[in-house]
Structures are given as structure tokens and as C-alpha cells.
Amino acid sequence: MGRIFEVRKSTMFARWDRMAKQFTRIGKEIIIAVKAGGPDPGTNAALRRCFQNARSVGMPKDRVEAAIKRAQGKELVNYDEILYEGYAPHGVALLVETATDNHVRTVANVKSHFNKGGGSLGNSGAVSFQFKKMGVFKLKPEGLNAEDMELELIDFGLEELGESTGENGEEILVVRCAFADFGNMQKALEDKGITPLSAELEWIPTTTVPVTDAQAEDISKLIERLEQDDDVQKVFHNMG
């Protein structure tokens, strides 16, 4: 086990703005999960993932419950998940995950963000071949033996396990598996009594583009524009 590579993260928002955006993102994910698999987390792995992530960002219980009720309401807003692909300045690839109730509005806004940020929106498949969709579980390392976990989790689809640091500089363990193995890995961790700090589906770059600090600032401005859009859920990049 070594230190797991994660692409450079840019600091996006003030703390409270970032928290509000996270609550909105997870609220949409809850609605999508309940619509697809029902309101019982015992039988809905996607909903359990949402609950884990809601706890990890301190999302109030009443907001979680409100999202579940909205998903079951008669006037439900239907969100479609759409992936947009393009390039930021300096040749860095971007994948933009959205959840929208208005395709026309979303594509127009995303295209505008790319143009104003010095990038270009591409067609489907333009950059996604440079990424691999994976399940990513972040764990507290206390009480865990990483070498034993590697052996125990390999039968459930483990591809990578390594050390990293959280947003506040704390040590964490990162477990990665193929997208298709997400449910198996989630259940394996649950069976071991391990509650992840977060459990996400992420686009991991297979290669990265080295950039200078000045170039990273240009790219981060475009990412910030995209992430502040209400329809955008997550933005992934291959900036090294």
C-alpha cells in the first residue's frame, strides 16, 4: 500500500457557500435515488450512499427527510443526469456531471461557462476516454489495518487502496473499485462494520496534464464558474 494519487484540488467557495452547494447536490441525489430504488435504505444502496455523504457534510436531518418527501410527492421534479465533456484552458480535460429538469437551459449555461472561462464544450466522448469511472470510499484510518483490508477486499473488486489527506489535512484511507463493483464494495465495508466518511462515484483520470500555478488558477476559475451553476453536481479534471 502506498500513497494514493489524487489530482490537485482547487479551493472553490467560502465555507458556507460550499456547504449550501453540497446540501443542494445531495438533496438532488436523494431524489434520484428514491425515484429509482424506493425510500428504504435497507434495499436501496444508492440511498445509503446518499445518507453517508449527507452525514459527512453535516446535512441536517430535516433537509434529508424533506428530500425524501419531495421524491415521493405528487409534484415531483424529475431530474435527468447528463454528463458534459470539454476542455479548460491549457489542454486540461473536464467532465461536468449535471442533474437537471431543463436540458435546454443546462446545456446553454454549461456552454456559456466554458466559453467565458476560456475553454470549449465538446461532444459526447470527447474527453471521457481519458477517465475511468470508479467507486471511491474514504475511510478514517483509526483501527484499520490497511494490508489486511487489501487482502480482504480484493474479492469485492478492490483496485486501489492507499493513504491520502482530507480537506483539513487529516490522514484518510482511500478505497477505489470499478464502477460495476460499487455495490459489492459498499456491502463488504458495511459487513465489516466500517462506515465511510464518504462514498462517491468519481471520474478518475488515467493520465494527467502538468500545469503551472498560474495555469491552475485559470483552470480553477472555469471550474468555479461551473460548480456554482445550480444544475451542476460535480466537475472532474485531469489537471496534475
Q: What is the DSSP letter of 103?
A: H
- Using alpha carbons, select from 132, 131, 135 the residue that is nearest to residue 48: 135
Task: For the chain, list the domains and their CATH numbers.
Answer: 15-72 (1.10.10.200), 80-129+207-237 (3.30.70.980), 130-205 (3.30.70.980)
Q: How far is CA 193 from the centre of its chain?
A: 23
**pLDDT value of position 20:** 81
Q: Residue 3 has which C-alpha cell? A: 500513497
| Cα dihedral 57, 61, 67, 71 sign | positive
Read off the pLDDT of each residue in 143-150 and give the average, rounded to a whole number.
92
pLDDT-based confidence at 165, cuts 50/70/90? confident
Q: How far is CA 186 from the centre of its chain?
A: 15
pLDDT-based confidence at 115, cuts 50/70/90? very high
Q: What is the DSSP letter of 239?
A: B
pLDDT-based confidence at 6, cuts 50/70/90? low
Per-residue model confidence as pLDDT tens digits over 87-107: 999 999 999 999 999 999 999
| Better-scored residue on pLDDT, 46 or 74 | 46
Pairing status of strand 120-121 against strand 80-87: antiparallel
Read off the pLDDT of each residue in 61-71 and give the average, rounded to a whole number.
91
Distance in angstroms (rounded) separating the CA atoms of residues 34 and 39: 5
| Better-scored residue on pLDDT, 203 or 22 | 203
Residue 119 identity (one-letter amino acid)? G
Q: Per-residue pLDDT for 196 more than 60?
A: yes
**pLDDT value of position 13:** 42
Q: How would you classify residue 229: left for phi > 0, otherwise alpha for psi between -120 and 50, otherwise beta?
A: beta
Read off the pLDDT of each residue in 176-185 and give the average, rounded to a whole number.
95
Q: Are 228 and 112 in contact (CB under 8 A)?
A: no
Distance in angstroms (rounded) separating the CA atoms of residues 163 and 158: 15
**pLDDT value of position 16:** 46
Q: Per-residue pLDDT for 168 more than 80?
A: no
Give the predicted TM-score (pTM) of the model. Answer: 0.88
pLDDT, the chain, mean: 90
